[in-house]
Amino acid sequence: MPARSGTSALFPSGTDAGLFAAEGRDRIGRSFENCPYPVDIWNEKFSCIFEYSWYNDLVSNQAPDIERIPCPGLLFSRQSGYFHLRKAGITMSQRIVVALGGNALGKNLTEQYQATRETAKAIVDLIADGNQVVIAHGNGPQVGMIQTAMTELTRMDPEKYIPCPLSVCVAMSQGYIGYDLQNALRETLLERGIPKAVSTVLTQVEVDPDDPAFLHPTKPIGAFMSREEAERLVAQRGYDVVEDAGRGYRRVVASPRPRAIVELETIRALVEAGQVVIACGGGGIPVVRAEENRWKGAAAVIDKDFAAELLAESLEADLLIILTAVEKVAIRFRQPGETWLSELTPEEAEQYMRAGEFAPGSMLPKVEAAVRFARSAPGRTALITELQKARAGIAGQTGTRVQEERR
């Protein structure tokens, strides 16, 4: 795979890609008048103008998918509709995976429609800066609503409507959320003059049937039940149920770690084609391998932060952004001596985790996912911050960055 750093063997020895591009602009100028494509698709940050002879060598010998167009020295990839030098081994943008929380997407149809519009504005800011963006999201409120609705159907007519498998509910939530989110992104992109396609991939994520989490299911889902209903489902379907603070009984399921993304190559192809991709919704549809060529849904929910980390690692992303309700990670949160952290090494983060500084089911999985990604390859960074601060966080102005070395 080509190098994806700021320098490349395609440039003269010892020459920085960004500097060389800037020097090229100074020598040749920005000749956009003759360009057959809309000027608003050119992103100045990534406009690379080169000497014509050097460019010819690049196209003929290194990157046949990049075409010459009637603008002196410009590189343009028709595959993505943008300056896209990744395939030439030159990267001045970043590939970013963004993990959105399900609660940030609203708790009903109206809230979700409005929330996705606000979310789209912040994400399109990142795209407008020239970054490749892939979006993963949670689905807690949404899958709970779907599970409750399907449970009510079963109560109405148990003979006609059997309990809906949790994996199917997760699949429904991916389509339900993806529909609003991809439309909001597409509309916002077009309003900003950015001609990029947006796709939602119904994503299955493999889990290990021997994951210890299956022995101790703890994640409550669905509606409250009477004792009689709970006992019937335990007897008929083998559900695990617990009493929930005197309010009734609820089903509990496992939360295993993700092993592999089944549709990874589909996601990768769409990203390489320049699309904005929404994938691994709700942590992905949990599946186990039933036979050599068949997947079977699992009664589980996958933490969306761990799924987003696996997606970022698998796509060789440069940056994983985990969005949350606060601007930075804190130790002694809401206690005397509360301290907000701007940078963490994986070792420092692990010390705080061992000390119990981060709440399970809240900040802890986010920090765990950030540490895993930062360690997955040299130069990778995870950023934990709130949605509206993501752009400033990338610029190093806020948020908590987790990386191997402090800047």
Q: Annotated catalytic, 103?
A: yes
Q: Taking 70 as the threshold, does the pLDDT of residue 38 lie above it?
A: no
Tell me, rounded to whole angstroms, the distance of Cα 286 from its chain centroid.
Answer: 17
366 an active-site residue? yes
| 49-86 pLDDT per residue, tens | 333 333 344 444 444 444 433 333 333 333 333 333 33
Question: What is the average pLDDT across 151-173?
Answer: 90
Which structure tokens are listed for 175? Answer: 């389509």
Whether 113 has a pLDDT exceeding 70, the answer reads yes
331-338 long-range contacts, CB within 8 A, separation 24+: 331/357, 332/357, 333/357, 333/359, 333/363
Report the relative pairing of strands 198-200 and 249-253 from DSSP bridges.
unpaired
Instruction: Write down the catalytic residue from 45, 103, 130, 183.
Output: 103
User: How far, in Å, CA of 278 to CA of 97, rounded?
Assistant: 10
Most confident by average pLDDT, 19-33, 240-254, 365-379: 365-379
User: What is the pLDDT at residue 87?
Assistant: 36
Sketch the domain layout of the chain as residue ranges.
17-88, 95-209+258-402, 217-253
Task: Give pLDDT tens digits for 261-319.
Answer: 999 999 999 999 999 999 999 999 999 998 888 999 999 999 999 999 999 999 999 99
Beta bridge partners of 240: 252
List Cβ neighbours of 380 (8 Å cut-off, separation of 6 or more): 317, 318, 319, 320, 373, 374, 403
Q: How far apart are CA 129 and CA 127, in angstroms?
A: 5
Q: Phi and psi of 197, rounded to 5°?
A: -80, 155
Structure confidence at residue 407 as a pLDDT band (50, 70, 90): low
Q: What is the mean pLDDT of the chain?
A: 80
**pLDDT of 26 over the 80 cut:** no
Q: In angstroms, rounded to a whole number, what is the distance separating the alpha carbons of residues 325 and 146?
A: 24
Tokens (6 digits) for 267: 């996601």
Average pLDDT over residues 329-337: 92
For position 55, what pLDDT does the model report? Answer: 39
95-209+258-402 to CATH, choices 3.40.1160.10, 3.40.980.10, 3.40.50.720, 3.40.50.620: 3.40.1160.10
Residue 211 has pLDDT above 60, yes or no: yes
What is the per-residue pLDDT for 12?
A: 34
**Is 70 exceeded by the pLDDT of residue 42?**
no
| Separation of alpha carbons 74 and 69, rounded Å | 7
- 87, 196, 366, 389: which is the annotated catalytic residue? 366
389 is catalytic: no
Question: Is pLDDT at 187 greater than 50 in this prediction?
Answer: yes
What is the rounded distance in angstroms from the CA atom of residue 288 to the CA atom of residue 292? 11
Catalytic residue (one of 24, 73, 81, 102): 102
CA–CA dist 189, 30 (Å, integer): 24
Residue tagged active-site, from 87, 196, 219, 389:
219
Helix H segments across 129-253?
140-156, 166-191, 227-237
Set 87, 196, 304, 389: catalytic member: 304
Average pLDDT over residues 362-386: 95
Is residue 102 annotated as a catalytic residue, yes or no?
A: yes
Predicted confidence (pLDDT) at residue 5 exceeds the cutoff of 80: no
